[in-house]
Amino acid sequence: MNAILAIWMTAISLFQVESQEIPQEAKKAIDKYKASAESAKKAYDAAVLRAREQVTKDLKTLIQSETAKGNIDVAFAVKSKLGEIQNEDTVQAPPRSESPVPSNNLALNKAVTASGSAKGDGVTPPSRPENAVDGNNGTSWATNHKDKEWVIVDLGKPETVSRVEIAWEAAYAAEYTIEASLNGKIWAEVARKADGQGGLDVLKFPPTKARWIRWNGIKRYKTEWPYNMWEFRVFGN
């Protein structure tokens, strides 16, 4: 790749002096050189794309076969790896629908507690609830393989909240509730999702004063998977 880049950069610098008075023969040589560098770069880009598509296809096949064999933990580990590769793609791709990360997220980097985290699933980076409030769309919190899972975020002080957003990995929640509390003991349900489809959930509700916000899982998309959220966000408006 370095060699191709070097050729490319040389071609560009030659192109910059092209407008000056240079012999016709030299111009021809430069054009030929440029065309060759362009075609090398195109071939390289196409090869990278093909290789990435093949790896993605192979990993998807592996997930299906391991799931069929009942090796759910293996399938989940492979799925995490696939997620990493797809995340790499998004670095160069147009921004995802949930980007940029909103700056007025009241839950950002706040203290969290949770029912637990997936273990032994090969999740990278290690699954922990903090991943759901770190403002990073590439780190997630994966739960244990149970329906009744939860996470609580402490906003630090009472805030008026009226919206929650959850960005899901493929292992999304089909059903869950959002609860609010001023003392961490008495909870009031402020929103309920009963038809989750994954992606980005946006739940709006009447302005409510609360310091703690709890997400309660009720039903996973697939019982052989955990819940897995990229981001859990709380807003005042």
Helix (H, G, I), strand (E, B) or coil at 26: helix
Applying CB under 5 A, among 121, 134, 169, 179 the residue interacting with Ca ion is 134
Applying CB under 5 A, among 139, 143, 208, 216 the residue interacting with Ca ion is 139
Residue 236 C-beta-side C-alpha neighbours within 13 Å:
11
Q: Which is nearer to Ca ion, 14 or 112 (CB)?
A: 112
Query: Nearest approach, Cβ of 169 to Ca ion (angstroms)?
Result: 10
Residue 197 binds Ca ion (CB under 5 A) = no
Rounded Cα gap, residues 12 and 41, in angstroms:
13
Q: Which stretch binds Ca ion (CB under 5 A): 5-13, 134-142, 147-155, 172-180?
A: 134-142
Rounded Cα gap, residues 47 and 41, in angstroms:
10
Q: Which is nearer to Ca ion, 127 or 139 (CB)?
A: 139
Rounded Cα gap, residues 137 and 140, in angstroms:
8
Q: With CB under 5 A, what is the number of residues at the site for Ca ion? A: 5
Query: Nearest approach, Cβ of 44 to Ca ion (angstroms)?
Result: 32
Applying CB under 5 A, among 67, 117, 127, 131 the residue interacting with Ca ion is 131
Q: Which residues contact 158 (CB under 8 A, 6 or more apart)?
A: 182, 209, 210, 211
The torsion region of residue 199 among left (phi > 0), alpha (psi -120 to 50) and beta comes to left
Q: Which stretch binds Ca ion (CB under 5 A): 1-9, 67-75, 195-203, 225-233?
A: 225-233
Residue 6 C-beta-side C-alpha neighbours within 13 Å:
3
Q: Which is nearer to Ca ion, 30 or 198 (CB)?
A: 198
Query: Nearest approach, Cβ of 209 to Ca ion (angstroms)?
Result: 26
Q: Which residues contact Ca ion by CB under 5 A? A: 131, 134, 136, 139, 231
